[in-house]
Each structure stands twice: as structure tokens, then as C-alpha cells.
Amino acid sequence: MNNHNLIIYEFEELYKILVEIKKHINFNFEKKNEQQLSDLNPKLNSLIFTKKEIPGLKNQIVFNHFPVPIFKLLEKINIEFLKKNFHEKSDIMVGNYILNLNSREMSFEDKKLKLTEKEIDTIVYLFKVASSVKIQELQLNVWGYQSQLETHTVETHIYRLRKKILKIFGDENFIISKKDGYEIQKKNRFAKDLFSKKYKPRIIKPKKGKGSFKRRKA
């Protein structure tokens, strides 16, 4: 069960829209007035959505860029929930890489790759899920909405991210395509060899008469 909770403060229009699309979003939500906000437990996994900053309260999403498509609002909300999960950490280990959430950089030894906010969120979500993630699930939990017409957006995004990682790190297996979605290689046992100066490219070709692949020694 999702324990993310969005508190809507003085934004009746947003609350009504979320009620209408409740079954398509992945977080809980409720309205609160000023008195209720003052009694809010800061330890709860909640974000406050408001048009104007409220003094003395943490975990606020201040949003006043209107008009805006609803899916963009949902995307913003989900990004903030992802950030909140890791707010006490700036660096997290993702397999053999270090992901810096503040500078939005992915690094291994002396190599660094600058990432976008969406790329950071995608990596974090894929990494925290134990199994492969379906495109629709990724769309819902990172982009914040579900639409059969927009799944190509996720696929294009993953394609570009994999291309960037391959270019800088030479790692084509960081994000793995599965039959039912995508998965992050939790630990790449070839990483040290791959990035060392002694690394020699290996040729991979299929065994005769079989569909499996065999690693040929250099």
C-alpha cells in the first residue's frame, strides 16, 4: 500500500481534479486548513501542496505556474515524493556507481555523467524495486500518471538515458530491457574490469545452433 500523502492547502480546484482521477494516481491526498496544518506531524510521509509558501513548515511544494496540464502537476508531485525518500542522503550507491542527488551526477572512479532531474528519478525508482518494472508502472510512479498513448515517452526517455551511460561509462547493461519492462543491474561484476586501464574489449557471439551467448576470452 502506498503511504505517500499529499496535503492540499487552499487549492480547491486541484482537490476536485484529483478526486475525479483518484484511481489513476499513486498517492493519497486530503485537504487541510491552516489550523490542521499547524497540528501536522512532521514525521509523516507527507508533502504540502500550496500556491504560496507557508512560513515554518517543511516539505512544501510551492506551485504557481498556471495554467499547466494536470499530468505535469502529477509529475512534479511524484518527483518531490522521490526526493523526500532520500532527503537525508546526497550520495547513494546504485550498483557500482555513486548517484549524487544534489549535483545530479552519476560517477564511477574519475568518470562523471550529468543527469537531468527526471533521469535521476528514473534511476532511483528502478533501483529501489527488486524486480523488473513495467513501462506503465514507471510511468505512474515517476511521471505520476497513466496513459496508454504516452508510454512511448517513457521508452524514449530510457533509450536516451542508456545511450548517455554507454557513452561515458561504456556500460550497456546498467539498465536492462526485460520482456515485461526494465531493470537496473544491482551489481555489475564486470564493472572494475570494464573501467580499468587493463580492460580489453571482448567479442560476444552466439554459440552455434543455440540462442545463448558465450563470452570469448580476449
Pairing outcome for strands 60-62 and 181-184 = unpaired
* pLDDT given at position 72: 74
* pLDDT given at position 8: 93
What does the block give as the cell for 137? 508502472
* pLDDT given at position 29: 93
> Domain 5-85 has what CATH class?
alpha beta
* pLDDT given at position 151: 73
| Domain span(s) for CATH 3.40.50 in the chain | 5-85
* pLDDT given at position 85: 67
In the 8-state DSSP scheme, what is residue 24? Answer: G
* pLDDT given at position 54: 83
* pLDDT given at position 31: 92
Instruction: Report the sign of the C-alpha dihedral through residues 123, 129, 131, 136, in that order.
Output: negative
Report residues of the chain scoring pLDDT below 70: 1-2, 40-45, 85-89, 130, 145-150, 186-218
* pLDDT given at position 41: 61
* pLDDT given at position 77: 84
Instruction: State the virtual CA torsion across 98, 101, 102, 107 in degrees, nearest 10.
Output: 20
- Exposed / middle / buried, residue 9 (Cβ in 10 Å: 0-12, 13-18, 19+): buried
Whole-model pTM above 0.75?
no
| Fold designation for 91-197 | Arc Repressor Mutant, subunit A (1.10.10)
| Domain span(s) for CATH 1.10.10.10 in the chain | 91-197
Q: How far apart are CA 206 and CA 215, in angstroms?
A: 9
